[in-house]
Amino acid sequence: MSEVADTYEQFLDHVRQLSYVGDAGGLLRWDQQVMMPDGGTPARTKQQSALSTLQHDLLTDDELAGYLDDLEEASLDPDQQAVVREVRREHERARKVPRDLVERISEATSEALPVWEQAREEDDFETYAPVLEELVELRREYAEAIDPDRDPYEVLFEEFEPYLGLDTAERVLERLRDELVPLIDDIASSDVTQPRPFEGTYDVEAQEALVRDALDVVGFDWDRGRLDTSAHPFTSGTQFDARITTRFDPEKPLDSLSSTIHEFGHASYALGLPDDEYGTPLGEARDLTVHESQSRLWENHVARSQPFWEHILPTVEEYLGVEASPADAYGAANRVYDDNLIRVEADELTYHMHIVLRFEIERDLISGDLDVQDVPQVWNDKMEEYLGIRPETDAEGCLQDIHWTNGTFGYFPTYSLGSVLAAQLYDAADEAIGPIEADIREGEFDALYDWMTENVHSHGKRYRTGDLVEEATGEPYNADHFIDYVTEKYGALYDL
């Protein structure tokens, strides 16, 4: 073995240990939201802090720095270069963050979770406000440590999407706002109303049986995955163990179905990553724009399509006792709401106004242009401006999301960025293996899943985001496919 090859193998061993520690922390976070007893927070806070500190130490230590220096000018193949590039980026950012700050952030987010859950349940923002103030301050401190001369929000955004750039996010969100608001207004003025065959109350156990069957239909690998419930649906895991959660409302059975398929999309990405690259960047997802593209593709382009409802409706009728035509069920699944306050229950169009609202608020919080105490008022004002509705409670308003409690400021734009990418990827897949709708109608999803695995999942972090998009679709990242998709779909639904 050459000296370079030996150095690279030692480097990989170090990187794998770093990855394993991070995955262990992910399991503890999953457990805290799903299984842990209410009184477990004090111990879990210390456990999480210890793992976060260990992970930070492994990422920033001199041994790793030495490996990276030795490999800087080495002759490496493209995959090895990609691994070094990704680790170097994380290493250089992390070295700028003091160890004690990492500990404080980990402890603060762990302690914040039960406070948020109780505040949301009791509609009590005042109890949550000091926690949010601490989290905002910690994230400002974190961004300043990485680069004191740049916009702190831009630094935080790069935690979740390091390569597309905040300017791209702002441009996409601005275009969505400019093009979707008139479309939403036209729908509101339309004489067409979508049917509502799912009005009523539905047993939660029946809903769970339905979504488990739906996961069977789309091909969820139960040998490497599981489904649970949590206050906020999420996905956690690796290519060997992908765990999804959902939640159930007796009056909203479509929401649990769509959120479960959404999380399946995330899990499909994790499970599609190459097994033999586990522990390295080549076995990790390419950040959140791409991750969100997978969840939104399965939720919207698949599970909200008419062919899907033609296939799944007998199963829905079996569990929920609903009698409806596929066309009516399709219309109900795609009804544009004029009164929806909750992001995860929003329709495909107004959803993005929820994202714009959160993006603007968290950006102003991090910049210091908005005080935490003013968040409920600003939230409600923006909700009224963008969606024409006003929350009556903070539980329906600024307390509904878990993201700030997790300290993930800069995350929200990736939801819309991912939705845009989902349309671009779907069109590329349809051109290559289509018509996909014919497969969906027959309940056949292997071709779509295999295309996504070959063109997206299997690459891990081999490519930067923009390069991955071009490799998969043959063109740069753009919003044209999404705008065309929603214009055609909702134009037909609402006779525009």
Sequence-distant (6+) residues with CB within 8 A of 261 are 214, 215, 218, 298, 299, 302, 303
What's the CA gap between 78 and 82, in Å, rounded?
6
In terms of Cα–Cα distance, which of 90, 84, 58, 89 is closest to 71?
84
The question of whether 263 is a catalytic residue gets the answer yes
DSSP type of residue 409: T
In terms of Cα–Cα distance, which of 85, 335, 341 is closest to 188?
335
Name the active-site residue from 117, 134, 263, 299: 263
In terms of Cα–Cα distance, which of 327, 298, 335, 325 is closest to 425?
298
CB-CB contact of 479 with 416 (8 Å) = no
**Burial of 228 by CB count in 10 Å (0-12 exposed, 13-18 middle, 19+ buried)?**
middle
- The CA–CA distances, whole Å, from 115 to 128, 137, 186, 245, 358 equal 6, 17, 41, 21, 20
- As a whole number of Å, the CA-based R_g of the chain is 22
What's the CA gap between 303 and 350, in Å, rounded?
18
Neighbours of 487 (CB within 10 A): 14
In terms of Cα–Cα distance, which of 372, 254, 373 is closest to 303?
254
CB-CB contact of 166 with 412 (8 Å) = no
Sequence-distant (6+) residues with CB within 8 A of 200 are 251
What's the CA gap between 220 and 260, in Å, rounded?
11
Peptide bond into 253 cis (omega under 30): no
Tokens 């891990």 found at: 460
Neighbours of 275 (CB within 10 A): 11
β-sheet with 235-238: strand ranges across: 225-229, 241-246, 235-238
Q: Please identify every residue annotated as catalytic.
A: 263
